[in-house]
Amino acid sequence: MSGFIYLSKEGMEKLKDELNYLKSTERPKIINQIAEARDKGDLSENAEYDAAKEAQGLLEARIARLENELSKSRVLDEKNIDLSTAKLLTTVEIENIQSKQKMSYTLVSESEADLKNKKISISSPIGSGLMGKKVGEIVDISVPSGIIKFKILDITI
């Protein structure tokens, strides 16, 4: 996929909001903690200072990762998505052939994956197994517990 990260408009906004929050709220908070710890004296044996510096390092790493993701991100226009096959941002209704259980998942990028909201990553076993498949196809998907056969019932936005 040419090095880009494809997101929904909602996913892009979520990343931007998180980055803004980290920069405008969390960064100043940690800078304050470092300043307060520094004011307490000897830095060589100051656990508060060490903890604040470590938190700052983790925060800066998270900010850098988000900035990198955003620089590579592109928003997919849902109006231009072809529904003939399962692909990014499509919702795929599937049925477990053995148990007859039906489920529906929206295929998303890794950064948007949220199983509670039935959004699975296209790099997950089920997500990658569904990519490019058509309605009516039966797919064998390898999961940790073995291979499960699913029938694709519908593909929508």
Q: What is the pLDDT of residues 83-92, one digit of tens each?
A: 888 988 899 9
Please name the fold of domain 5-75. Answer: Helix Hairpins (1.10.287)
> Residue 99: is its pLDDT beyond 70?
yes
- Residue-level pLDDT at 23: 95
* Domain layout of the chain by residue ranges: 5-75, 78-156
CATH of domain 78-156: 3.10.50.30
Matching fold, domains 5-75 and 78-156: no
d(CA 90, CA 109): 11
Q: Averaged over 55-68, what is the pLDDT?
A: 93
Alpha helix stretches (DSSP H) within 40-75: 47-72
| Contacts (Cβ under 8 Å, ≥6 apart) of 23 | 63
| Cβ atoms of residues 37 and 46 within 8 Å | yes
Question: Following DSSP, what letter does each residue of 101-147 receive, concatenated?
Answer: -EEEEEEE-GGG-BGGGTEEETTSHHHHHHTT--TT-EEEEEETTEE
d(CA 112, CA 131): 16
> Residue 105: is its pLDDT beyond 60?
yes
What percentage of residues in the chain have a pLDDT greater than 90?
A: 45
User: What's the token pair of residue 133?
Assistant: 């498949």
- Residue-level pLDDT at 38: 82
- At 138, the pLDDT band (50, 70, 90 cuts) reads very high
Model pTM score:
0.68
| Cβ atoms of residues 110 and 121 within 8 Å | yes
